Amino acid sequence: MIEIKNITKAFGKLQVLKGIDINLEKGKIYAFLGPNGSGKTTLIKTILGLNQPDNGEILIQNENIKNNWQYKSCIGYMPQIARFPENLNMMELLGMTRDIRKTASDEEKYISYFNLEGARDKKLKNLSGGTKQKVNAVLAFMFNPDILIFDEPSVGLDPVAHLKLKDLMREERDNGKTILLTTHILSEVEELADEVIFLLDGKIYFQGTVQNLVQTQNESNLERAIAQLLLQTEKKSKKLSFQAA
């Protein structure tokens, strides 16, 4: 479904992605993990065409995404922070998005699912942070895309909305969608992820199931396995800087 081949990306002197190779299949939820600044959002934005990679290529449904904007219609994206035209109300925003996309949409289903009835006529600038995130969720799901990308989706959501979002992700995975998720909430990873992709220092440091990760680190749970991974890499980088000195 998504083939990522040797992607590199630098911002000035900062080499953020140093050669990423992954194949992401249909019907799976992939959780991208890694410390702050490890390149998770940069990789996601590259898949979305919001960043141009310096090298490498990305194929979605067998088509190279370079200079090809049509592929974006098969992706639903829920960003970390909602940024909307503030003077529109929710229905105007959804209507405008529908007019641009010109494809069938099912916003009413998701307005009702996320309990957004009361937000219909309110200006977006006056909505709470969590309500804006729910509007973002409606935008991500309403066109029934084959690929769904969530960047820290639970930030600001109340527990009911968070549960509903997780249920919907599982349902869509079971419908054959490919789901990419970045999160720092490890319980979310344990509950949802079919595979974990751990980014470190611009590379993929681990790819496999949560169970694999826990076993390879010889730990009792995901939190401890991740801590163990980070400790190992800290030791490695200290050793390298000691050798270089």
Ligand X SMILES: Nc1ncnc2c1ncn2[C@@H]1O[C@H](COP(=O)(O)OP(=O)(O)OP(=O)(O)O)[C@@H](O)[C@H]1O
Site residues (CB under 6 A) for ligand X? 11, 14, 16, 34, 36-42
Closer residue to ligand X (CB): 36 or 241: 36
Instruction: Give least dist CB 199 to ligand X, A.
Output: 7
One-letter amino acid for residue 81 of the chain: I
Closer residue to ligand X (CB): 1 or 16: 16
Cα–Cα distance measured from residue 105 to residue 113, given in angstroms and rounded to the nearest whole number? 15
Instruction: Give least dist CB 193 to ligand X, A.
Output: 16
One-letter amino acid for residue 132 of the chain: K
Closer residue to ligand X (CB): 41 or 105: 41
Instruction: Give least dist CB 192 to ligand X, A.
Output: 18
Closer residue to ligand X (CB): 138 or 229: 229
> H-helix or E-strand containing 201?
none
Question: What residues are paired with 46 via a beta bridge?
Answer: none
**What is the three-class DSSP state of 192?**
helix
Instruction: Give least dist CB 34 to ligand X, A.
Output: 5
Closer residue to ligand X (CB): 52 or 220: 52
Angle value at C-alpha 33, between 230 and 147, nearest 5 degrees: 165
For the chain, how big is the Rg over CA atoms in Å? Answer: 19
Instruction: Give least dist CB 214 to ligand X, A.
Output: 21
Closer residue to ligand X (CB): 41 or 178: 41
Q: Which are the contacts of 59, defined by CB distance < 8 A and separation ≥ 6?
A: 2, 3, 5, 65
Instruction: Give least dist CB 41 to ligand X, A.
Output: 3
Q: What are phi and psi of 146, to 5 degrees?
A: -75, -25
Contact by Cβ (8 Å): 51, 40: no
User: Per the structure block, which two tokens stand in for 45?
Assistant: 């934005």
